[in-house]
A and B are shown apart, each in its own frame.
Chain A
Amino acid sequence: NAGVMQNPRHLVRRRGQEARLRCSPVKGHSHVYWYRQLPEEGLKFMVYLQKENIIDESGMPKERFSAEFPKEGPSILRIQQVVRGDSAAYFCASSLQGGGRTGTEAFFGQGTRLTVV
C-alpha cells in the first residue's frame, strides 16, 4: 500500500525559474493538501483540493503560486519566477474524506525540498 508519493525529493532552481512539485495521494484518496515548512518552523497550510477543484486556497500566496489536482494524474504545486524566500520543504498530504473538522487522518508525503539559488 503505497503512501503519499512526492517528487522530486530535492529540487534546485535559479531565481526566476519555475518549480513544479508533484504529489500522488494514497490510492483511493481524493483530498489533497499542500503545506510549506520553513526551517525551524511548523507546517503552514497552503491549499486544499479535491479532484479537479480547489476547495480552500486561503494559505496560498496571491501571486506566482498555483495548484491543481486533475482528474487523472498527480496534484501539482507550481511556483513561477521563484525567489530565494520560496526555499522550503513542501509537503503534500491526502485523506480519504475531507480532513480537519471531520477528524479524518491526513497522511503526509516525504516532502520536496526546494532550494532557490
Chain B
Amino acid sequence: GENVEQHPSTLSVQEGDSAVIKCTYSDSASNYFPWYKQELGKRPQLIIDIRSNVGEKKDQRIAVTLNKTAKHFSLHITETQPEDSAVYFCAAPNLSNSGYALNFGKGTSLLVTP
C-alpha cells in the first residue's frame, strides 16, 4: 500500500521562526495530499491540501509544496505562534485498495516557544 514517511517526528522552534515538515510517498499515482493539525486531546482538522496538478498552495501563514518527481511534499508555517503548537499529519490516498481512504504519516509534534 501507499507508504507515507514523515519527518521530523518532533520540531521545536521559537515564536516568529518558520517550521518545515516533510513527507514522502511511494505511489506515483497519488493525486491528493492533505495536512491535518491535531491539538492535544482533540480531533484532527484539515489545515491545507494540495492536488497533484499544482506545485504549491498558500493560505496565509501556511503553504504546501509538492514535488511529484521526487514524490515528496512539505508543509511550511511562517511566523509561527504558540497556538501553532500541535501534532501535524500528512496523508496520501491508499491506492492499493479502494483509494478512498488516506494513509497518514506518523506525525510531527511541533512546539512553538514564546
Contact = CB atoms under 8 A, between A and B. Distances in A.
Interface of A: 4, 31, 33, 35, 41-45, 48, 55-56, 58-59, 91, 98-103, 105-111
Task: Please name the 9 residue pairs, one residue from A and one from B, whose CB atoms are nearest each other, closest first.
Answer: A100-B93, A56-B98, A98-B100, A101-B99, A103-B32, A101-B93, A100-B100, A42-B106, A42-B104
B98 A55 contact: yes
Contacts, number: 87
Interface stretch (B38-46, B60-68, B75-83): B38-46
A59 B2 CA distance: 12
A50 B73 CA distance: 30
Nearest to B51: A103
B32 A102 contact: yes
Contacts of A98: 98-100
15 contacts: A4-B43, A48-B100, A48-B101, A56-B100, A58-B94, A58-B96, A58-B101, A99-B100, A99-B101, A101-B31, A101-B100, A102-B100, A103-B31, A109-B43, A110-B42
Question: Main SS of the interface on chain B?
Answer: loop
Contacts of B42: 110
Nearest to A4: B43
B1 interface: yes
Interface in B85-105: 89, 93-105
Contact of B101 (A41, A45, A103): A45
B1 to A, nearest CB: 7
A83 to B, nearest CB: 23
Contact of B100 (A43, A55, A91): A55
